[in-house]
Structure 1
């Protein structure tokens, strides 16, 4: 590779993401998920006003025309606050090449064989349906749904039928950006689990001292920190590779999906262990991270599929 190859976002990009994080943290407290599974109309309106959904939209269409690095950094912040799958789908729809989507909410869905699973989002007009080897946008009008689950996964899951013809299909570049968004949100979950676990380890006391002073808990926190950092760095590598049009962009992105997904599940599980019995309780927050990670990984096609794609890239190279 060339000596001037860059692996991390620059200072301006990091500053932009940090400023957006302040807005996201105010709009998306984790406590909201104990009341409702989707974002409120007010939150959607504020996210739109903040420019979240126009990050990579052209200036001609009212967007900011920023790159993959900015989008990935902001998506990590959204993942940290467990933004709904519809937020991911609405962000990702900008990469379909279909114009005129500004302000329209997009629901998330995925296909497994002949079965279509839709994450319901009231007010959505479009559906971004993910498949094993592609993705497409559909109009929700005429879609028939049957409820599968209303709470278990902190998402309203429905089985859908009668989609009709796709309005737009994602090309290879658009699909790559969707996978980068998958990885970024999962990296955010890994970081959220780390922060939550470390905070509780410093607060909870046993035998007269914080449990964070015990070696076993220290090891959990250290491993979580390494996993979260690896996930974030791999997402950064991938986003910069995409922006620079490098040959390794596909490999870096597929690795980001796998590394971030593994970190999200692993850290969420360790966070529950650190919390002990309360970690399993419905009124606490740790289980929210596990459930959101599971839904997003299913939406992304699963970690096994990402691993297989990585192997195929290496074989082809």
Structure 2
């Protein structure tokens, strides 16, 4: 029994107090810098936002100090990405944070636009992007930005999508870089799941029917409770995967893939339920609920889709 107890000494499953405190400080700054209402204007961030994020050390947060980065671990980066997801940070911003170290190998200060597609390649338009992150099968490759591109639509997905012939492949992400990319995806999805819950609860407290807040009705309570369970599960699965990544656990790949699948489902389901709680206004372009659902669906597509996620979970197990 003594040997068994000693074997488990030092195992951690969640972030420690210092990591949570750092994430809390970043959360305050990011919430002020990235108000949710700006997402109505487009899916890209302004040059000023990029500059301020660089000044905060967010863009290169996961890069070692010996390479000019902030030197944070995956756990801190994931906690920051949760806030970025909650504030609907540009998909290009998430891709840049995830691949900053890989791009440095190309002697680039990156601004990375994520791409996806089966046959026709689509990517998220990001002014100033100098790299594309293209995922196919089980991997991801950094490409040069195409010299010729054309818009696909105006704003259907809450971002502007482009298409065109890909530039040359420059660097393939290795297994650990790919895990970090998927961990950041999971964290952003967990943030969206929490944002949808918060938005639904706030509305349920304010909206009245029959002289009572709709949050007092059993059906709405059940919806919000289900959303709360999903959001908490996504957050815990993601933070556990991040700690596993930093601890180099043998089951890291399985933890990361599971967190991504769990968080994606939570974000999409909570996004849809949030619209239901809002009723008719939830479907209107002027309101914000539809932005959360669209972003969750877009991030899932950028990550290869939930079916591919489920296959990777099974393979990693």
TM-score (norm 1): 0.95
From 115, 130, 151, give the equivalent of 2:120: 115
From 48, 54, 65, give the equivalent of 2:60: 54
1:91 paired to 2:94:
no
1:173 paired to 2:176:
yes
- TM-aligned CA deviation for residue 160 of structure 1: 2.4
1:222 paired to 2:228:
no
- TM-aligned CA deviation for residue 143 of structure 1: 3.4
Secondary structure at 1:283's aligned position in 2? coil
From 129, 134, 144, give the equivalent of 1:129: 134
- TM-aligned CA deviation for residue 144 of structure 1: 2.3
- TM-aligned CA deviation for residue 95 of structure 1: 4.4
Contact 1:95 1:177 in 2 (8 A): no
Superposed CA deviations along residues 170-195 of structure 1, whole A, max 9, x for unmatched, are 01111111110110000000000000
Out of 30-39 and 225-234, give the one that drifted further. 30-39
1-structure distance, mates of 2:147, 2:116: 14
Out of 41-50 and 101-110, give the one that drifted further. 101-110
Superposed CA deviations along residues 2-59 of structure 1, whole A, max 9, x for unmatched, are 4232100110000011100011101111111122331111111111111111211121
Aligned pairs for 1:55-94 within 5 A? 55-94=61-100
- TM-aligned CA deviation for residue 104 of structure 1: 3.0
1:183 paired to 2:186:
yes
- TM-aligned CA deviation for residue 168 of structure 1: 1.2
Gap runs ≥5 in structure 2: none
Secondary structure at 2:121's aligned position in 1? strand
- Shift in alpha-carbon separation, 1:160–1:214, aligned structure 2, 3 A: same
Secondary structure at 2:71's aligned position in 1? coil
Out of 48-57 and 222-231, give the one that drifted further. 48-57
Aligned partner of 2:22 in structure 1 is 16
Aligned partner of 2:275 in structure 1 is 272
1-structure distance, mates of 2:110, 2:166: 21
Aligned partner of 1:159 in structure 2 is 163
Out of 273-282 and 2-11, give the one that drifted further. 2-11
Contact 1:98 1:168 in 2 (8 A): no
2-structure distance, mates of 1:162, 1:289: 29
- Shift in alpha-carbon separation, 1:179–1:101, aligned structure 2, 3 A: farther
- Computed over aligned residues only, the root mean square deviation of the Cα atoms, in angstroms, reads 1.5
Contact 1:80 1:192 in 2 (8 A): yes
From 280, 283, 287, give the equivalent of 1:284: 287
1-structure distance, mates of 2:66, 2:257: 31
Superposed CA deviations along residues 235-276 of structure 1, whole A, max 9, x for unmatched, are 011000010000110111000011000000010011000100
Aligned partner of 1:309 in structure 2 is 312
Aligned partner of 2:149 in structure 1 is 145
Contact 1:104 1:125 in 2 (8 A): yes
1-structure distance, mates of 2:263, 2:287: 24
- TM-aligned CA deviation for residue 125 of structure 1: 1.0
2-structure distance, mates of 1:28, 1:195: 17
Aligned partner of 2:204 in structure 1 is 201
Contact 2:151 2:161 in 1 (8 A): yes
Aligned partner of 1:235 in structure 2 is 238
The number of aligned residues is 311
2-structure distance, mates of 1:190, 1:258: 13
1-structure distance, mates of 2:219, 2:267: 20
Q: Which runs of 4+ in 1 moved over 2 A?
A: 94-104
